């Protein structure tokens, strides 16, 4: 189990693979896409079982959405909206910012800490992400990494996506919301310990009204359920007994794709276009009235 600051992940995973020891690495897999791809290659050479801590895909509500999408209940996927935020480091009520805000240990702030989870979910639901555009905002005094990150995403299958991640904005644990708009229906998932039962899945027709909450398997503790299911799948993979939810188990290849998206997002903040006329005297006069 690798639960260190991010800059140690790649070295630790490499050491375990070379030693023939199965590994669970907390997300993200590395601080660079290059290191992540090196680990993928090493994993293929050694054949050692390894996974990365994108555990929330094991949540029953997410599993139900995945099944309904595959079964065609949502129709053709058009747009996915994703958010993960809670005020972990809010200046009034949160804890002091730790290594997660230090560029020497983390390559990104809320984007890596929270955004990586929902990027993984997006790719798990809709397939590879081909293009991104991003805005990384620093809000806390002295912040050196992003406190609020927003992304636009284009998928290889033609779908598009919007993502918000933050460790300042209101939310519970883990503070995840997904809205998947399809040609036939809208699927909405909440995973938040402020909800009764910690999760919710709602399916609504694309046109008109009549949405309904869908029955989902209860969680066994809102803060431990997803990780417990993830661990069960990992142990089953190690034993090779075919049990557990092996198809959900995050692989090094999938985690490396998330790393590719994260790195592209860090470099995709320079495509802003000024809106014509916003600096005109008339606009300024309207703002002051």
**CA–CA dist 263, 273 (Å, integer):** 22
- Give the global pTM: 0.93
Q: Is the pLDDT of residue 231 over 90?
A: yes
Is pLDDT at 13 greater than 90 in this prediction?
yes
Nearest-angstrom CA–CA distance, 223 and 278: 46
pLDDT tens, 70-123?
999 999 999 999 999 999 999 998 999 999 999 999 999 999 999 999 999 999
Let me know if residue 168 belongs to a domain.
yes
Whether 20 is in a domain gets the answer: no
The reply to whether omega before 43 is within 30° of 0 (cis) is no
Q: Is residue 100 part of a domain?
A: yes
Q: Is the pLDDT of residue 288 over 70?
A: no
* Percent of the chain surpassing pLDDT 70: 95
pLDDT band per the 50, 70, 90 thresholds, residue 282: low
Distance from C-alpha of 28 to C-alpha of 117, rounded to nearest angstrom = 9
- For residue 10, being part of any structural domain is answered with no
* Domain count of the fold of the chain: 1
Higher pLDDT, 274 or 14: 14
Would you say 148 and 110 are in contact if contact means Cβ atoms under 8 Å apart?
Answer: yes
Neighbours of 62 (CB within 10 A): 23
Evaluate whether residue 101 is within a structural domain: yes
Percent of the chain clearing pLDDT 90 (strictly above): 88
CATH number at residue 193: 3.30.360.10
Q: What does the alpha-carbon distance between residue 90 and residue 140 come to, in Å, rounded to a whole number?
A: 8
What residue has token string 């958010």?
Answer: 83
Statement: residue 220 has pLDDT above 70: yes
pLDDT at 276: 79
In the structure, what pLDDT confidence band is assigned to residue 242 with cuts at 50, 70 and 90? confident
Confidence at 279, pLDDT banded by 50, 70, 90: low
Average pLDDT of the chain, as a whole number: 94
Cβ neighbors of 282 (< 8 A, separation 6 or more) are none
Q: What is the dihedral of CA 272, 131, 14, 112, to 10 degrees?
A: 50
Asked if 101 contacts 144 with a C-beta cutoff of 8 angstroms, the reply is yes
C-alpha–C-alpha distance, residues 28 and 32, integer Å: 9
Number of residues written out for the chain: 289
Q: Look at residue 34 and tell me if it is in a domain.
A: no
Residue 215 lies in domain:
56-221+257-266
Any domain includes 275:
no
pLDDT score for 208 = 81
């Amino acid at each position: 189990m690798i639960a260190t600051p991010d800059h140690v992940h790649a070295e630790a995973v490499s050491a375990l693979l070379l030693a023939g020891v199965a590994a669970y690495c907390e997300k993200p897999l590395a601080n660079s896409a290059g290191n992540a791809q090196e680990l993928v290659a090493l994993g293929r050479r050694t054949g050692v079982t390894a996974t990365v801590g994108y555990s929330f895909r094991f949540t029953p509500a997410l599993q139900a959405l995945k099944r309904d999408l595959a079964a065609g209940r949502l129709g053709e996927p058009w747009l996915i909206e994703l958010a993960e935020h809670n005020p972990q480091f809010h200046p009034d009520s949160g804890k002091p910012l730790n290594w997660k805000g230090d560029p020497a240990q983390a390559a990104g702030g809320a984007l890596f800490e929270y955004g990586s989870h929902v990027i993984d979910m997006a790719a798990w639901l809709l397939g590879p992400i081909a293009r991104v555009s991003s805005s990384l905002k620093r809000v806390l005094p002295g912040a050196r990494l992003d406190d609020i990150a927003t992304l636009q995403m284009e998928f290889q299958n033609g779908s598009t996506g919007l993502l918000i991640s933050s460790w300042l904005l209101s939310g519970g644990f883990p503070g995840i919301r997904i809205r998947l708009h399809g040609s036939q229906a809208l699927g909405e998932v909440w995973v938040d310990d402020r909800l009764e039962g910690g999760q919710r899945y709602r399916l609504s027709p694309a046109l008109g009204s009549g949405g309904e909450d869908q029955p989902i398997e209860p969680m066994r503790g809102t803060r431990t359920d997803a990780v417990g299911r993830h661990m069960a799948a990992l142990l089953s993979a190690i034993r090779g007994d075919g049990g557990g939810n092996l198809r959900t188990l995050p692989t090094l290849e999938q985690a490396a794709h998330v790393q590719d998206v994260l790195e592209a997002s860090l470099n995709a903040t320079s495509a802003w276009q000024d809106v014509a006329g916003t600096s005109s005297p008339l606009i300024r006069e309207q703002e002051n009235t």
